[in-house]
Structure 1
């Protein structure tokens, strides 16, 4: 097991201030608190004169004064992104309605938050979000994963050092977490929301590490790998799988859990397909990782017949 990774370095979850003004922000649903020395300004909102601090956004001043502006993406601890565009308002003298979470207040500014045009824009923006709602029902990392693996689920289990549960969650979609943790290009990490704060979570290394811990327990202590679903009673049916590459072995794995008798036929002298013959040893160790992962199939009763080319 020389290839097993050490436990990945885990950064603190504390959000570090990006600048002095962000450092003043409190973890609250209200706007950031300002030092008393910050100059105060007055603006008019919906016919009402309110006070705020110089440098605050329209949204912050409105929230401080009990004026509600709808938002979906606003987070007081982070700078305004305006991604949802639900917080648009009208400002007298400006041609285009600004986004209130990023527009800084100016003295004597006149703001309107409930005009017919503002409501129309908010309604249109919400309809646009709902028109692509499938992309918003999943975290962006999971949505960009070609297999839509439950990434938040296994990351939570990893954070609790429950690597068995993490691997169980992963295997619901793909049965070989350690293999994938070495060959996947990790498109999920390019869309990790944590990257907007500091850097993306090492998602690929996380499931690789959890899978390695399960392999280690299997090899050292004889503990069977976790099953993603309940093992079904024997069905009496037989299935032949042609090819022992990742697709064939994944099919065999789930067929075995479903209770079927499975035989995998492989034309080469050893199972693995492109995983064995197309990926170099330094990238994917064949004994420590590939054969160990495939053992989860044979432990369920699967049979692999090599040197059995068909056609």
Structure 2
């Protein structure tokens, strides 16, 4: 056995063990992209750098074997900067969107592509569950939202954007909401003041986190401007009432006809563990509730919505006047994260946002590549403003180009880029590579421009003796990974497709079905 020190702790491992494996045996996770436990290793990504404590030199822990008396440091500022640089070099050639442009443009940050895929499969209940993860009032917003998401849709480059809002509307109208789960109660109480779109959303998402919400409004019925400023032709009251009822069903206590004066506000601060102000445009009547305010409204942190009083959060038009209800609904969802963090005495940062790779607009030659996973059909315009039929919705959803990454939830490149605050543009020196998609396989899709050339797929297909498999093609900076002899993807991966897709660290090779 070999004895060494890792982060000043002694460990004994077998001779021939790599420094990375020795660290793993101690429960220390060293970042890596090209490592695979069942393969012989060669150094590629340079992400697993560690330091020799004796001489201060950095080296890749995956390829260096332990020696007697070795002293290793696995994390300090110099190592972190080295890893960040390695990630930024990998990102400089990585071409792919983590999140679809429509999702980035949506003020509520809804997972639009996933909704579209469920609708395309005729699964309206599952689509509704996706929407309500981010939007508490889908049928309402499907009717009134000005659709900033559609302005960012890549399909717009081909012909016309996908009709996202009408798809959201039919999901809200025809999808069956999931039963309210049995929630583990935290014992905390929060008051939400104002039952417009922002307050309703905040109440809904806080309640789902096990926090008892009491929702106050000066009007007898909830809805705010949704109820009073829109015609029945635009937003039928039965639609609004139905979605409000779904929110109340989670356990929210609604107290309408309640005027909140400054004195009442102070009493509420003593009674509740936190307050969310969502009253709409501030007036002299509320006197800003004693909170710091500017010319546009109450001043709050842009990420957490925490005000000058740490116990009070503010969202919606109380911050600044806006006619965009989807923005208010999105803030209602986001503030729930911040309030929960505050109640748990964690750092109050708001909804987590991960690193997001973006490549910009599609170029002409890429349109055909994206249409491989879509249909060549024009946008559907329902007659009479009644919305889609089920059949029309399925057909329209199939127009989605699948711009998001299939590996968004388990991409090592994304996760590590977030952890090390990597800058995707730092080492950009040339025009980006043109996106291509290889989909002629029953189980997987290969997008070469997402590949970081870690070689895992090459080694796996070699180990399992694929007839063609994958190999390195070309030399130097122009090297690519692909099936040799210009064979089709389906011939390269006949036995190992799923194994290779699961091992890929970036989603360059990914399973077709989620």
Change (3 A) 1:233 1:134: farther
Q: For structure 1, list consecutive stretches of 5 or more residues without a partner in the other structure.
A: 1-126, 218-224
Indicate which of 110, 117, 120 corresponds to 1:156: 117
Partners of 1:161 and 1:263 lie apart in 2 by 37
Indicate which of 242, 247, 253 corresponds to 1:292: 242
1:84-233 aligned at under 5 Å gives the runs 136-214=97-175, 217=176, 225-226=177-178, 231-233=182-184
On the 8 A contact 1:231/1:259 being kept in 2, the answer is: no
Which residue in 2 is equivalent to 1:61? Answer: none
Q: Any idea what the Cα deviations from partners look like across 1:210-261, whole Å, max 9, x if unmatched?
A: 11003xx5xxxxxxx226x965312222221101011111111111111122
Partners of 1:183 and 1:189 lie apart in 2 by 14
On the 8 A contact 1:231/1:257 being kept in 2, the answer is: no
Within the alignment, does 1:309 sit opposite 2:267 as a pair? no
3-state DSSP of counterpart to 1:188: helix
On the 8 A contact 1:255/1:262 being kept in 2, the answer is: yes
Deviation of 1:134 (Å): 11
Aligned residues: 174
Which residue in 2 is equivalent to 1:268? Answer: 219
Partners of 2:160 and 2:256 lie apart in 1 by 45
Deviation of 1:308 (Å): 0.3
Partners of 1:274 and 1:128 lie apart in 2 by 50
Deviation of 1:200 (Å): 1.4
Deviation of 1:128 (Å): 12
On the 8 A contact 1:182/1:208 being kept in 2, the answer is: yes
Comparing 187-196 with 301-310, which one deviates more in the overlay?
187-196
Change (3 A) 1:289 1:196: same
Deviation of 1:290 (Å): 0.6
Which residue in 2 is equivalent to 1:235? Answer: 186
Partners of 2:153 and 2:182 lie apart in 1 by 34
3-state DSSP of counterpart to 1:304: strand
Q: CA RMSD in A?
A: 2.7
Structure of greater relative contact order (alpha carbons < 8 Å, 6+ residues apart): 2
Q: For structure 2, list consecutive stretches of 5 or more residues without a partner in the other structure.
A: 1-87, 262-514
Partners of 2:89 and 2:226 lie apart in 1 by 43
Which residue in 1 is equivalent to 2:437? Answer: none
Which residue in 1 is equivalent to 2:201? Answer: 250
Deviation of 1:130 (Å): 5.5
On the 8 A contact 1:244/1:265 being kept in 2, the answer is: yes
3-state DSSP of counterpart to 2:192: strand
3-state DSSP of counterpart to 1:239: strand
Deviation of 1:187 (Å): 1.2
Deviation of 1:178 (Å): 0.5
Change (3 A) 1:252 1:279: same
Deviation of 1:136 (Å): 3.7
